């Protein structure tokens, strides 16, 4: 069944106010959240350690707060006010340690969970940031949302763990834009990908790695509506079903075919049937299952060959 969600990303580099910098940054970020709320989003994403950004001559850990500190409290109030999930990235002080964390607040402003950056930079490690040990995918009321932070984008184990947990959308809070790496993650793992950074060209990518929009200095807030009831399939063995699918479902299904890569996305626009229902009905298999089957067959062939 169609699962539409509106996702907003915010470009924000921190306040220029150096006195009471963290509080000033939180206040300015709240104003940008109010702007995003005009689009009635289901989820709003903020940049990595947004309350610390732009604080001259300070260490990241100087901005550290507990979960019940003033930053999360203020952003939680905005989540309640606008009835939206908010990704609130902070330097988290917990159990005597410091984490570069993305806190996910639900529509009631309650902490739904937190992701701790698995791969801090060497600079962060030198400053006392403790690495996280595992990826996390949140089950929201519109779909499965994975979280990643900045330097994580360079390490496949993060993406692979997010994929294993079934993420349909990944929120990337960062201090750098990611560029082609963001598009590669979106394509390779078949999910929507939104980045929120301090600078221009934060991407919103579809599951084929195509950029749906960028943030610019004159556009600090970007919102896109996506449909998370989709499946990615390879053209092999599946393309002969396209006409029959269209004949039966008409506007109730969308087929987005990408020839050069030999893949397509099947999206349900129907309130009654899911994309996976259609995949099963027509005897198709997802790209992930197809590649897994091809790998098994290769391994079987190699094993057989070794016995000859």
The average confidence (pLDDT) of the chain is 96
Burial of residue 122, with CB atoms counted within 10 A of its CB: 0-12 exposed, 13-18 middle, 19 or more buried: exposed
Instruction: Kindly list the domain boundaries of the chain, sorted by start residue.
Output: 4-226, 230-292
pLDDT at 82 over 80: yes
In 3D, which of 161, 164, 181 has the Cα closest to residue 172?
Answer: 181
* Residue 12 and residue 53 in contact, taking contact as beta carbons nearer than 8 Å: yes
Structure tokens at 82: 């606008």
Closest CA to 189 of 279, 288, 45, 292: 288
Q: Is domain 4-226 in CATH 3.60.110.10, yes or no? A: yes
pLDDT tens digits for 129-169?
999 999 999 999 999 999 999 999 999 999 999 999 999 99
Integer Cα distance of 222 and 256 in angstroms: 23
3-class SS shares of the chain: helix, strand, coil, % to 5: 35, 30, 35
pLDDT at residue 217 in the model: 86
User: Which CATH class, in words, describes the domain spanning 230-292?
Assistant: alpha beta
Q: Report the pLDDT value the prediction gives residue 219, as an integer from 0 to 100.
A: 87
Q: Using CA atoms in the order 281, 285, 288, 290, what is the torsion angle rounded to 10 degrees?
A: 170
Nearest Cα neighbor of 9 from 34, 43, 40 is: 43
3-class SS of residue 131? coil
Whether residue 83 is predicted with pLDDT greater than 80 in this model: the reply is: yes
Output the six-digit token pair for 236. 């092999």
């Amino acid at each position: 069944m169609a699962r539409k969600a509106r996702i907003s990303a915010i470009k924000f580099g921190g306040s220029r106010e150096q006195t009471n910098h963290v509080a000033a940054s939180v206040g300015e970020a709240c104003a940008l959240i109010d702007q995003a709320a005009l689009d009635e989003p289901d989820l709003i994403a903020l940049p990595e350690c947004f309350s610390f950004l732009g604080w001259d001559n300070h260490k990241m850990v100087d901005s550290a707060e507990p979960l019940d500190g003033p930053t999360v409290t203020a952003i939680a109030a905005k989540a309640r006010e606008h009835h939206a999930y908010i990704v609130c990235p902070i330097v988290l002080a917990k159990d005597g340690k410091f984490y570069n964390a993305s806190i996910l607040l639900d529509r009631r402003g309650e902490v739904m969970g937190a992701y701790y950056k698995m791969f801090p930079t060497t600079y962060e490690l030198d400053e006392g940031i403790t690495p996280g040990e595992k990826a996390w995918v949140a089950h929201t009321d519109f779909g499965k949302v994975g979280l990643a932070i900045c330097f994580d984008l360079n390490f496949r184990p993060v993406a692979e763990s997010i994929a294993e947990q079934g993420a349909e959308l990944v929120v990337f809070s960062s201090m750098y834009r990611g560029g082609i790496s963001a598009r590669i993650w979106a394509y390779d793992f078949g999910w929507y990908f939104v980045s929120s950074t301090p600078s221009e060209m934060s991407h919103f990518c579809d599951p084929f790695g195509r950029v749906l929009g960028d943030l610019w200095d004159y556009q600090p807030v970007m919102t896109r509506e996506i449909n998370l009831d989709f499946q990615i399939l390879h053209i092999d063995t599946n393309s002969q079903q396209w006409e029959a699918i269209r004949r039966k479902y008409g506007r109730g299904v969308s087929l987005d075919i990408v020839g050069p890569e030999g893949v397509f996305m099947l999206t349900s626009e129907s309130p009654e049937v899911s994309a996976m229902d259609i995949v099963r009905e027509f005897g198709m298999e997802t790209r992930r299952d197809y590649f897994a089957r091809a790998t098994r067959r290769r391994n079987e062939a190699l094993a057989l060959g070794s016995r000859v």
